[in-house]
């Protein structure tokens, strides 16, 4: 506000002009009139100035020519009286009302009569809403440029505040909202409330004071500035520059909860946290105890269910495996093999039986054949076998046994020892066997022809032999035959040979 040009000379009321006495001293004090005249002169020196202020009071006494206005500083608790005329008022700010922001062109004046000072305005302009908002916008840019709105300067609210400082109107809706909602969410929360004017001139100063108190209180770890809805003018204090700077300077985090959702005073930008409404502020201040507990129990519940499901699933799986036939009834495995063994054994038995059977058949068959071939049957029919006891040679010709050789005659049952007796009337070299033993030509052993073996029990007819050879020829053939009687001719009757051997071995061992 530069100094303006000087206006008309001051009219100093009706005080008589007096000389300028010397300096005032205790002995020669100045009278009041001198002092007030000097004061008046000093004051006049300021000259005309443009003044920005807020109308605290306005008195338009119809009768009186002048209008008296109490003009307050927008931020500080200072005010001055302004005198103006109805005309000036009507021209500049026709419907001026309390709280309005004005800019006026005035000159300070001193009234000696009552010793009062006042500004005499010759021009008043009401600062319109548009003007105000424009001013706000400018301030906003200014503060923004200074970095008061910087996001990184924002401080986080404590998750669970120890004590909440609340700056709000006395018994206001905002106060109730913040207190009830916060306590509902977290009953244990502790509040320190400082009630202030939340609109009009004294709002800002009071809020600043409260802010200072709460910021310095170590116990308070978050401050809330809350106010219900209101007109733009009502919310003006919350865009006040001084307030914004103070909030920015605060060490304690500040929550701004001004007006409705759509209201955004500058405080919203400066504060650490912007709550759209006082109720919303409660949500940001404290966690909801009930909600937190619900979340915890929900988590626990899901935890339990997950683990239980897993356990159930796994034990079912194990049970499934355990109940598989191979595991549940292992003896099946053993029974299986047992029955295998049994069937094998049966088969073995059967085959054995079978084989025995066939073997038995074979045996009997062979036996039959054996019997058929053995001389026993022949002996049965009365024949006898003569052998030389010396070498068991079967006597087939009288030449085989010279007189005196001991013989053994084998009968159907038993044997008879015998000796060859000389033959009185036959040619030498012929031997005669005691008449009572008739030597039958050999039917077993050495003869080649067995084809017509006599079945047991049949009438035994002497078998025909090869055409009759002369005795000499026979004896030569026989002799040649006898020498190698040990060589096995086609020898069917094993038992006879056996007997020959055994007799021989007996003779050797005797």
Partner 1 sequence: MTTDQKTQPKLSYEQAREELGRVVERLEAGGTSLEESLALWERGEELAAVCQRWLDGARAKLDAAREARSQ
Which residues are at the interface with partner 1 (CB under 8 A)?
Answer: 300, 304, 307-308, 311, 314-315, 317-318, 321-322, 324-327, 330, 333-334, 337
| Residue 71 near residue 82, CB atoms below 8 Å | yes
In the complex, minimum distance from the CB of residue 156 to partner 1, in angstroms, rounded to a whole number: 32
Of 17 and 324, nearer to partner 1 (C-beta) is: 324
Residue number with CB closer to partner 1 (332 or 356) = 332
Least separation in angstroms between CB 366 and partner 1: 44
Are 253 and 274 spatial neighbours (Cβ–Cβ below 8 Å)?
A: no
- When the beta carbons of 4 and 315 are compared against partner 1, the nearer one is 315
Helix (H, G, I), strand (E, B) or coil at 360: helix
When the beta carbons of 333 and 438 are compared against partner 1, the nearer one is 333
Q: Which tokens in the block code for residue 222?
A: 């978050």
Q: How far is the CB of 336 from partner 1 (least distance, A)?
A: 9
Q: Give the nearest distance from C-beta 325 to partner 1 in angstroms.
A: 8
- Give whichever of 18 and 323 is closer to partner 1, judged by the CB atom: 323
| Shortest Å, Cβ 308 to partner 1 | 7
Query: Shortest approach of partner 1 to residue 317 CB, angstroms?
Result: 7
**326 vs 490, which CB is nearer to partner 1?**
326
Handedness of CA 416, 417, 422, 424 (dihedral sign): negative
What is the closest distance, in whole angstroms, from the C-beta atom of residue 306 to partner 1 in the complex? 11
SS3 115: coil
- Angstrom CA distances, 441 to 283, 454, 456, 480, stand at 146, 16, 19, 18
Quick check: 138 and 76 in contact, CB under 8 A? no
Proportion of the chain in helix, strand, coil states, percent, rounded to 5: 45, 20, 40
Closer residue to partner 1 in complex, CB, 162/316? 316
- Round to whole Å and give the CA distance between 170 and 210: 13
**Residue 378: its H or E element:** helix 376-380
- C-alpha span between 61 and 71 (Å, rounded): 17
Spatial separation of the C-alpha atoms in residues 53 and 281, rounded to whole Å: 33
User: Cβ of residue 310: shortest distance to partner 1, in angstroms?
Assistant: 8
How far is it, in rounded angstroms, from Cα 116 to Cα 40? 10
- With the CA atoms of 170, 174, 180 and 186 taken in that order, what torsion angle do they form, in degrees rounded to the nearest 10? -110
Q: What angle do CA 352, 357, 361 make, to 5 degrees?
A: 145
DSSP 13-31: TTPPP----S---SSSPPP
Query: Minimum distance from CB of 304 to partner 1 (Å)?
Result: 7
Shorter beta-carbon distance to partner 1: residue 307 or 342: 307
Which two three-digit tokens encode residue 274?
A: 């912007």
Nearer to partner 1, 300 or 465 (CB): 300
Q: Cβ 311 to partner 1, closest distance in Å?
A: 5
Strand arrangement of the beta sheet that strand 415-419 belongs to: 385-388, 406-410, 415-419
Distance of CA 143 to the CA centre of its chain: 53
Nearer to partner 1, 320 or 461 (CB): 320
| Number of other CB atoms surrounding residue 445 within 10 Å | 19
Q: Which CB, 76 or 295, lies closer to partner 1?
A: 295
Q: Is 345 exposed, middle or buried (0-12, 13-18, 19+ CB in 10 A)?
A: exposed
Q: Cβ 296 to partner 1, closest distance in Å?
A: 11
């Amino acid at each position: 506000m530069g100094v303006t040009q000087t206006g008309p000379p001051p009219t100093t009321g009706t005080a008589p002009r007096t000389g300028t006495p010397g300096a005032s001293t205790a002995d020669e004090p100045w009278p009041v009139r001198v002092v007030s005249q000097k004061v008046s002169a000093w004051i006049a020196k300021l000259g005309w100035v443009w003044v920005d202020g807020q109308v605290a009071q306005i008195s338009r006494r119809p009768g009186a020519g002048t209008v008296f206005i109490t003009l307050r500083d927008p931020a500080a608790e200072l005010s001055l009286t302004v005198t103006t005329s109805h005309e000036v008022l009507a021209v500049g700010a026709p419907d001026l009302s309390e709280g309005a922001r004005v800019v006026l062109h005035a000159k300070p004046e001193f009234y000696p009569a009552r010793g009062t000072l006042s500004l005499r305005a010759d021009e008043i302009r009401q600062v319109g809403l548009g003007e105000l908002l424009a001013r706000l916008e400018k301030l906003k840019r200014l503060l923004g440029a200074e970095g008061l709105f910087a996001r990184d300067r924002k401080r986080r609210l404590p998750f669970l505040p120890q004590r909440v400082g609340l700056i709000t109107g006395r018994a206001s809706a905002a106060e109730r909202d913040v207190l009830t909602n916060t306590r509902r969410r977290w009953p244990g929360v502790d509040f320190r409330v400082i009630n202030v004017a939340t609109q009009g001139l004294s709002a800002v100063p009071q809020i600043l004071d409260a802010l200072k108190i709460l910021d310095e209180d170590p116990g308070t770890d978050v401050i809330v500035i809350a106010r219900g809805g209101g007109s733009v003018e009502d919310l003006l204090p919350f865009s006040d520059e001084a307030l914004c700077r103070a909030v920015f300077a605060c060490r304690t985090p500040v929550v701004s909860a001004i007006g409705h959702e759509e209201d955004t005073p500058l405080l919203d930008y400066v504060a650490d946290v912007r709550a759209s409404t006082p109720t919303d502020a409660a949500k940001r201040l404290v966690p909801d105890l009930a909600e937190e507990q619900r979340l915890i129990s929900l988590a626990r519940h899901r935890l339990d269910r997950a683990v239980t499901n897993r356990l159930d699933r796994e034990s079912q799986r194990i049970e499934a495996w355990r109940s598989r036939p191979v595991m549940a009834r292992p003896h099946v495995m053993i029974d299986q093999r047992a029955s295998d063994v049994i069937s094998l054994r049966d088969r073995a038995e059967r085959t054995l039986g079978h084989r025995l059977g066939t073997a038995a058949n074979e045996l009997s068959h062979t036996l039959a054949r054996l019997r058929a071939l053995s001389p026993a049957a022949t002996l049965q029919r009365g024949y006898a076998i003569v052998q030389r006891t010396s070498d068991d040679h079967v006597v087939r010709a009288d030449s085989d046994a010279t007189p005196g050789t001991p013989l053994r005659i084998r009968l159907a049952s038993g044997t008879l020892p015998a000796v060859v007796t000389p033959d009185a009337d036959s040619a030498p070299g012929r031997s005669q066997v005691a008449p009572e033993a008739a030597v039958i030509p050999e039917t077993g052993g050495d003869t080649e022809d067995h084809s017509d073996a006599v079945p047991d029990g049949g009438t035994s007819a002497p078998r025909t032999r090869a055409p009759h050879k002369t005795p000499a020829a026979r004896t030569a053939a026989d002799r040649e035959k006898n020498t190698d009687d040990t060589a096995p001719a086609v020898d069917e009757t094993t038992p006879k040979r056996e007997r020959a051997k055994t007799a021989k071995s007996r003779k050797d061992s005797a």
